[in-house]
């Protein structure tokens, strides 16, 4: 089958920022492919988007931490006649707690999803992005800008995403591919609950960009070819502070903040 259906591929699309990205890309006229583990949630979202008079997105229920998942995803899209024009690497999770006390398999799983899967998808779909003169939006975080005691592996994984994205911005610009790292602050989604954070941490922090503002900033930044996007003035001020304040000052403060949260956390 010829690949003539140009799509925006959104991972982690079953809830939170992923679902908001799907709604926004659809509203801006893009055809979609939605990927996550939960078929029922993906179908519900696809029905919602298709019911609004837009093309119903392709739905692919897949665990991206499985070693051959990127190749399997590419094969399913090819069979559907779809070619990726925009890749939104949104899937990811975090764990809040002391490194030595969190289960090792859960922390390795976080690296598999936040780092390994993201890198593999970027590589597998790069030929499509070049051919379609498209772009890649990678979900980093404010957490990428400093070490994070109490969420050590999560912060490190997002630092990888930011570093990789900035390097690819420069590498791929001459090839007509835009790459943007989106660095949101603590947007309240299912991320926090899954991570086991204390209930009082699930309230939106005052003045921090919400989900809709975050995805709009990411989308607009990608289309404009911006290297890094940090949504909202509060997050921008925090990012600037983390860039200039020495780590020996910020590390104890971050450790205390994570300790107050309790449990296992996220974006």
Can you tell me the distance from the alpha carbon of 236 to that of 146, in angstroms, rounded to the nearest whole number?
14
CB atoms within 10 A of CB 39: 13
Measure CA 46 to chain center: 19
Can you tell me the distance from the alpha carbon of 87 to that of 126, in angstroms, rounded to the nearest whole number?
9
155 catalytic? Reply is: no
What are phi and psi for residue 210, nearest 5 degrees?
-85, -175
As given in the structure block, the two tokens for residue 253 are 């403060």
Partners of 31 in beta bridges:
7
Residues in Cβ contact with 253 at an 8 Å cutoff, skipping those fewer than 6 apart: none
As given in the structure block, the two tokens for residue 217 are 């900033």
As given in the structure block, the two tokens for residue 37 are 């583990």
Rounded to the nearest 10°, the torsion over CA 137, 139, 145, 146 is -160
Segment holding 135, helix H or strand E: strand 135-139
What are phi and psi for residue 168, nearest 5 degrees?
-70, -30
Can you tell me the distance from the alpha carbon of 247 to that of 67, in angstroms, rounded to the nearest whole number?
35
- Active-site residue among 93, 154, 155, 219? 154
Can you tell me the distance from the alpha carbon of 105 to that of 196, in angstroms, rounded to the nearest whole number?
16
Residues belonging to the active site = 154
């Amino acid at each position: 089958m010829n690949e003539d259906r140009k799509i925006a591929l959104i991972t982690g699309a079953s809830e939170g920022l992923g679902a908001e990205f799907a709604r926004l890309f659809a509203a801006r006229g893009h055809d979609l492919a939605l990927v996550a583990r939960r078929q029922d949630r993906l179908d519900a979202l696809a029905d919602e988007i298709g019911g609004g008079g837009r093309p119903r997105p392709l739905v692919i229920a897949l665990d991206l931490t499985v070693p051959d998942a990127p190749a399997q995803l590419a094969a399913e899209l090819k069979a559907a006649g779809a070619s990726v024009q925009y890749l939104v690497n949104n899937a990811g999770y975090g764990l809040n707690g002391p490194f030595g006390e969190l289960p090792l398999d859960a922390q390795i799983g976080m690296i598999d999803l936040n780092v390994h899967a993201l890198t593999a998808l970027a590589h597998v779909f790069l030929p499509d992005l070049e051919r379609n003169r498209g772009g890649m939006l990678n979900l980093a975080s404010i957490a990428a800008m400093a070490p994070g005691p109490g969420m050590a592996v999560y912060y490190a994984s997002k630092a990888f995403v930011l570093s990789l994205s900035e390097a690819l911005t420069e590498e791929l610009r001459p090839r007509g591919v835009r790459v943007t790292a989106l660095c949101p602050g603590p947007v309240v989604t299912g991320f926090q609950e899954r991570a086991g954070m204390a209930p009082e941490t699930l309230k939106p922090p005052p003045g921090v960009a919400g989900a809709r503002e975050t995805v709009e900033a990411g989308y607009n930044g990608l289309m404009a070819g911006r290297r890094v996007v940090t949504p909202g003035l509060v997050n921008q001020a925090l990012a600037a502070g983390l860039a200039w304040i020495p780590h020996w000052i910020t590390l104890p403060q971050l450790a205390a903040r994570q300790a107050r949260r309790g449990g296992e956390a996220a974006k």
